[in-house]
Structure 1
Amino acid sequence: MNKKYRLQLWICAALGWITSMPQAQASADPALLPQFQQQFNQQLQQAKVPGGAYAIVYKDQVLALGSYGVRAVGDNARVNADTVFRLASVSKTFAGNIMVQLSQQGRLDLQQPLKAYVPELQLKTAAIEQKVSVETILSQGSGFWAHAFEDLIEADQTPAQILPRLAELSPVCPPGRCYSYQNVLFGLLGRAAEQSTGRPYETLVSERVFAPLQMHTASYGLTGLLASRNKALPHQRGGKGWRTVKPKANFYRFPAAAGVNASARDLSQYLIAMLGYRPEVFSPALLGQLQQPLVKMPGKPRWPVWQQYRNASAWYGRGWRMVQYGDDKLYYHAGVVDGYRPYIAYSPATGYGLVLLTNAEADVTGKLAGWFWLQVLPGPQLAKHKHGATKKGAR
């Protein structure tokens, strides 16, 4: 870490933009990689998933790029680190990045009503329109019922057809007060970015994220996926296994919510930047805002790794999910859409990041991610023994 960046970090910490400084361990665990490769192959093989890829990063290094299986059932083309997958809701992390960048540059105000940037948006009353800000949508705290009108996306209706239906929404809680996951409303953030800059949303992400991070295979939309020569096709259950299905345009029509395509290699560079090692692209001030918990999710995180922490809690921030455990946080997002299941996560406290991509909807990514973080995250300090020594919890 260079001196200039270290100084930036300390300034941002002092101003409250970063709540804790990364305290990654001195070196990566050499036993982790072969163990994870074994777990990855085993889980995909057991679920008969056609293909998948992963990336593991540590601080500013890509530790491993791995793959399994084929891009499509009945085809011999193998998945590799450059195979492109749909990212589904992992796309929301890119939207968070762009919206915060525009906010910090004075191009957009996160506290303004979303209607200020999307004039065609009509909610039930003018009072509701004034309360639903850009940030409440970005942090999944709109206050409306969860997954509102998502069934219309599934039914292949266009944004122009769905948008008028938003006037039917009634709040179930005040905006910003309760977690309420949305795709239709979140998709409107792309329009807000376009209105505030005069630039297409996809172009903004490409210029501000894909290009500077050298994410060479990343793209937006169905056209971008189909244009890739090295792409994983989606699969759904059929008979005793999986069958290839045609990629759909439906959720792609909401690019801020679910529009990105990318490879494991692309996302390894994205994680290194999110861990703070590309400050010329993602500044410490930007990361500080992206890492801020805003809306608390109900219940306690369920994975075994979180059960050892008495006060573990789940939150949604500006396009990222996060788990607060002790004094640290794990940042992540997952997704599922029409035959794909992606996952991305990083831990500033340990320096590790993980990407998982599959071309089937079997929930192997959740099992693999749970296993990985159980190995990597340290257990909490337990009560002192009678001789004064402390003991760490099971990893």
Structure 2
Amino acid sequence: MNKLYRFFRFLPLAALYGVGIAGQAQAGADRALSAQFQQQFNAQLQQAKVPGGAYAIVYQDQVLALGSYGVRAVGEQARVNPDTVFRLASVSKTFAGNLLVQLSQQGRLDLQQPLKAYVPELHLKNAQIERQVNVESVLSQGSGFWAHAFEDLIEANKTPAEILPRLAELAPVCPPRRCYSYQNVLFGLLGRAAEQSTGKSYESLVTERVFSPLQMHTASYGLTGLLASRNKALPHQRGGKGWRTVKPKANFYRFPAAAGVNASARDLSQYLIAMLGHRPEVFSPALLSQLQQPLVKMPGKPRWPVWQQYRNASAWYGRGWRMVQYGDDRLYYHAGVVDGYRPYIAYSPSTGYGLVLLTNAEADVTGKLAGWFWQQVLPGPQLAKQKQGTAKKGAK
């Protein structure tokens, strides 16, 4: 199916056989892809004994497939469906990036200003460091501090007010924006920056600028939002020979910009359609251009087999989104894991595809499924060159 799918998707069939035949071939390839992915999804979750999950596949402005597997909670009969709400963990960072870039383009917030300008209670080791650590360096995971700083205190259920004073202990390991340094505590302060620059709550800003216009009807923020949903997947952790339901925790929810969103696969399909450029009245081309810019290079080469085909594949972090540069194209994505949930979201502007994966257990099936999907969809180096050559000929 892999070779056949790539043949239909990337050869200029419309020029060779006519638009109607090309469209039929592509539709058939999409149906085959969706059917095979459903099989892969069910098999992977069944093998790992994951209680439940949901997914969405989009192409351009269409939802190709919405699927689900299993139950919302072990020992209960309620099934997961495409509207079941899951925690999004660090996928929430993509919403923060979207909001902050919107505010910057409207002149409400300056990404180049020190974070302390918007969060006066933030105290770092000295005044020079406070001036250097700006909003964009935190948004792009390039603050320069040791990775996951004081995240153990979030795990220990400490509040932001208890953790914030500890940031004065941070010593840089590199200058800002010079090295990748993943953070949750610092990233969480970006919500305060949005609030200070607008006078509105962070949650209400994302709701009015993203959730509502994209009709993400089940999306919410925080533990209260999750518990209020009648159709929610409960988290599971390993217990004995299988998985056991655990009570959702408030700890990472207290940092909403970093890990506060709840949403369903159907919600996120609409989000991806907008990220692919098909809702310009909500996400403008200028906004998407900034969100798609690589800023901080991540160490090492991307590990999936699909990337090994490309000599110069590299991984980056942008304004709230991760990305892989391969050849002249990029794949944008983010994943997460928190207290019994494992989400994943990604999209590829060059192919027009997007993928959502949600599970209510921490087994790493999303990585395997995403790797399989993009192996089918992304062109190999030879097809990528052929596609670029065809585009150049058409431009002459």
> What is the CA–CA distance in structure 2 between the aligned matches of 1:199 and 1:344, rounded to whole Å?
28
> What is the CA–CA distance in structure 1 between the aligned matches of 2:380 and 2:233, rounded to whole Å?
37
Q: Give the corresponding residue for 2:332.
A: 331
Which amino acid in 2 is paired with 1:163?
A: L
Q: Give the corresponding residue for 2:103.
A: 102
Which amino acid in 2 is paired with 1:72?
A: A
Q: Give the corresponding residue for 2:130.
A: 129
Q: Give the corresponding residue for 1:225.
A: 226
Q: Give the corresponding residue for 1:45.
A: 46
The CA RMSD measured in Å over matched residues stands at: 1.2
Amino-acid identity (%) = 90
TM-superposed deviation, 1:175: 0.2
Deviation track 1:280-323 (CA, whole Å, cap 9, x = no partner) reads: 00000000000000000000000000000000000000000000
> What is the CA–CA distance in structure 2 between the aligned matches of 1:186 and 1:56, rounded to whole Å?
29
Deviation track 1:162-183 (CA, whole Å, cap 9, x = no partner) reads: 0000000000000000000000
> What is the CA–CA distance in structure 2 between the aligned matches of 1:323 and 1:199, rounded to whole Å?
34
Matching of residue 68 in structure 1 with residue 89 in structure 2: no
Which amino acid in 2 is paired with 1:281?
A: V
Which amino acid in 2 is paired with 1:241?
A: G
Structure 1: 5+ residue stretches without partners:
1-24, 385-395
Q: How does 1:269-348 map to 2 (within 5 A)?
A: 269-348=270-349
Runs of 4+ in 1 over 3 A off after TM superposition: 25-28
Matching of residue 118 in structure 1 with residue 119 in structure 2: yes
Q: How does 1:124-163 map to 2 (within 5 A)?
A: 124-163=125-164
TM-superposed deviation, 1:276: 0.2
Q: How does 1:356-395 map to 2 (within 5 A)?
A: 356-381=357-382
- CA 280–382 in structure 1, closer or farther in 2 if over 3 Å, else same: closer
Match of 1:119, SS? Answer: coil
TM-superposed deviation, 1:382: 8.3
> What is the CA–CA distance in structure 1 between the aligned matches of 2:34 and 2:234, rounded to whole Å?
27
> What is the CA–CA distance in structure 1 between the aligned matches of 2:383 and 2:100, rounded to whole Å?
41
> What is the CA–CA distance in structure 1 between the aligned matches of 2:384 and 2:69, rounded to whole Å?
43
Larger fraction in helix: 2
Deviation track 1:192-226 (CA, whole Å, cap 9, x = no partner) reads: 00000000000000000000000000000000000
Q: Give the corresponding residue for 2:58.
A: 57
Structure 2: 5+ residue stretches without partners:
1-21, 386-396
TM (norm. structure 2) is 0.90
Which amino acid in 1 is paired with 2:276?
A: L
> What is the CA–CA distance in structure 2 between the aligned matches of 1:90 and 1:227, rounded to whole Å?
21
Q: Give the corresponding residue for 1:77.
A: 78
- CA 73–116 in structure 1, closer or farther in 2 if over 3 Å, else same: same
Which amino acid in 2 is paired with 1:361?
A: E
Match of 2:262, SS? Answer: strand
Match of 2:57, SS? Answer: strand
TM (norm. structure 1) is 0.90
Q: How does 1:176-325 map to 2 (within 5 A)?
A: 176-325=177-326
Q: Give the corresponding residue for 2:7.
A: none
Which amino acid in 1 is paired with 2:58?
A: V
> What is the CA–CA distance in structure 2 between the aligned matches of 1:383 and 1:36, rounded to whole Å?
23
Which amino acid in 2 is paired with 1:375?
A: Q
> What is the CA–CA distance in structure 1 between the aligned matches of 2:170 and 2:147, rounded to whole Å?
11
TM-superposed deviation, 1:326: 0.2
TM-superposed deviation, 1:383: 12
Which amino acid in 1 is paired with 2:213?
A: P
> What is the CA–CA distance in structure 1 between the aligned matches of 2:383 and 2:333, rounded to whole Å?
26
Which amino acid in 2 is paired with 1:354?
A: L
Match of 1:287, SS? Answer: helix
> What is the CA–CA distance in structure 2 between the aligned matches of 1:212 and 1:206, rounded to whole Å?
8
Which amino acid in 1 is paired with 2:149?
A: A
TM-superposed deviation, 1:146: 0.0
TM-superposed deviation, 1:31: 1.2
Matching of residue 86 in structure 1 with residue 87 in structure 2: yes
Which amino acid in 2 is paired with 1:117?
A: Y
> What is the CA–CA distance in structure 2 between the aligned matches of 1:74 and 1:233, rounded to whole Å?
11
Deviation track 1:68-109 (CA, whole Å, cap 9, x = no partner) reads: 000000000000000000000000000000000000000000
Deviation track 1:233-265 (CA, whole Å, cap 9, x = no partner) reads: 000000000000000000000000000000000
Which amino acid in 1 is paired with 2:375?
A: L
TM-superposed deviation, 1:381: 1.9
